[in-house]
Chains A and B, each alone.
Chain A
Amino acid sequence: MSYIVPIGPYHPSLEEPVHARLITDGELISDAEVFIGYNHRGIEKLCMERNFIQTLVLVERVCGICSHSHALTYALTLESISGIKVPKKGQYMRVITAELERLHSHYLWLGIALHIIGHDSLFMHSWDDREAIMDALEDLTGNRVNYGMVTYGGSRREMSLEQKDRILKMLDKIEDSQKRLTEFLLADKTVALRTQGVGVLTTEDAIRIGAIGPHARASNVPVDVRIDSPYCCYEDFEFNKAVFHTCDVFARVVVRCLENMESIKIIRQAIDSMPQGAYNLGNRIPTIKPGEYMMRHEAPRGQLCYKVVTNGTDKNERVSIHVPTFRNAPTIPTMLKGNSVADAGLIIASIDPCFSCMDR
């Protein structure tokens, strides 16, 4: 007999509001629908009422996890419209913050995934590592959530020798524990039973629906804006696209573990080859010319798009924000079909959703 099982919009297993309607045939899901928009805050509309300095502060509050990505992408868009040249040191500081943010986001996701899988001790271990990264971010930027690190024409802060040492030491610790965590995740029977062959999104479906970021890479689609279309000096660093071929929840775990190692590699290279000189343009507030530009940034969850239209005044004509979850959430019904109701929470979580970010 067929039943409709609703999950959300407010549910203990969800951190953010989303509504999934599962049409079940016994224990199995035969069809599913996803409904979004429960946290729409009208941020894009507010951006049209604010000037550029105010908007930089506002867009950082779109997301609590990838706040730097939003501020960075918006600043990069305006800099591209006006042809502002950012000093290399400022770019490197932005990259270090972005990669630390990716690390803490992936550790957050790993913790949540392990908690849903039922491995609470590893959940605590991974969040312990995340805490060290959060401390490093606080040390570097002065804040734990909204870092305020980006300014037009560069970065607000530079890094002292002591900070460099502390971050490198933290990276050594994280690298060791990430290796142990990866070895465990690859070998553990419980993790394999809960993740392998669960929530499959084939390569064809990922391309058809338009999945992006780690979610697409776990379906064997090699897309990564940092490599495909470099910006912010990413071309200076050597790193690989983390791609895996099994297309299931297990692949999403593996991809994020691999990406953590790549981010550690990037941060080390950026610290070791930190350029000398200015890290921003000083107190000069740049004039933003009229124009339009679309910027893409590889945020922790995938490609973040900002399209900004300016009209020569100090206000935005239009700021269009599209976050990775907007592209990945439509894949949820496809992944859910044929799986059991018990796996639905893990499958929805496997895209690393940020619904508040998407609703903006």
Chain B
Amino acid sequence: MQEYKRISITKDEIVPLAEKMRKNGVILAMIHGYLGKDGLPVISYEYQVDPGIESYTVEGEKVLPTISHIYDLAAEWPERELSELIDITFEGLDTSKRLFMPESMLEGQGHIFVTPMEELIEKVQKKKED
């Protein structure tokens, strides 16, 4: 079984940690995000420390610093995805172009993971009627 370790960090630790990991040649496996029980975002930076994953998690922050200047596109695309789907702002990240969501959907934002399914269906139907 692959090892999985969850470690809580603060917003201020994200960039120094990424710099340290990059320096040590650690691969950034992915950046994940979801809404926790209290409705606040949980963002985890999954570093590939073989044979397992170290998941550095930041809870309750809607504005985070980007690490795309450290991990290049390996961080840029996941960050753009999260800012589209969960409404997280990554400071310093260019989000002027869409990644997954069509430009016409929900004023170009999407945020489908934080919008209830009923609301999404209603908005799509309303758009069709218009």
Residues of B within 8 A of A207 (CB): 25
- The answer to the question of A342 belonging to the interface, with a C-beta cut-off of 8 Å to chain B, is no
Task: Rank and list the top 8 A-B pairs by shortest CB-CB distance, nearest first.
Answer: A210-B74, A318-B34, A330-B73, A37-B100, A229-B51, A228-B50, A307-B32, A320-B32
Asked whether A168 is an interface residue with its Cβ less than 8 Å from the other chain, the reply is no
A292 within 8 A of B: yes
Which listed residue (B1, B77, B120) contacts A326, Cβ 8 A? Answer: B77
- Chain A residues with Cβ below 8 Å from B21 are none
Question: Is residue B64 contacting chain A, with contact meaning CB distance below 8 A?
Answer: no
**In the bound complex, CA of A357 to CA of B70 (Å):** 27
Output the least CB separation between A296 and chain B (Å).
6
Please report A residues at the B interface, Cβ cutoff 8 Å. 35-37, 40, 42, 44-45, 48-49, 80, 207-210, 223, 228-231, 292-296, 303, 305, 307, 309, 311, 317-318, 320, 322, 326-327, 330-331, 359
Q: Is B108 an interface residue (CB 8 A)?
A: no
11 CB < 8 A contacts A-B: A35-B97, A37-B98, A40-B100, A45-B120, A209-B72, A210-B71, A294-B32, A305-B29, A307-B32, A318-B113, A330-B74
Q: Which A residues are CB-close (under 8 A) to B9? A: none
Nearest chain A residue, comparing its CB with the CB of B103: A37
Interface 1/0s, chain B 20-55, versus A by CB < 8 A?
A: 000001011110111101000000101010111101
Q: Which residues on the A side are within 8 Å of B51 (C-beta)? A: 228-230
* B46 & A294 in contact (Cβ 8 Å cutoff): yes
Contacts of A35 in B (CB 8 A): 97
Q: Are B6 and A292 in contact (CB under 8 A)?
A: yes
Our pick among B53, B55, B112 for the contact of A45 (Cβ within 8 Å) is B112
Q: Does B93 contact A (CB under 8 A)?
A: no
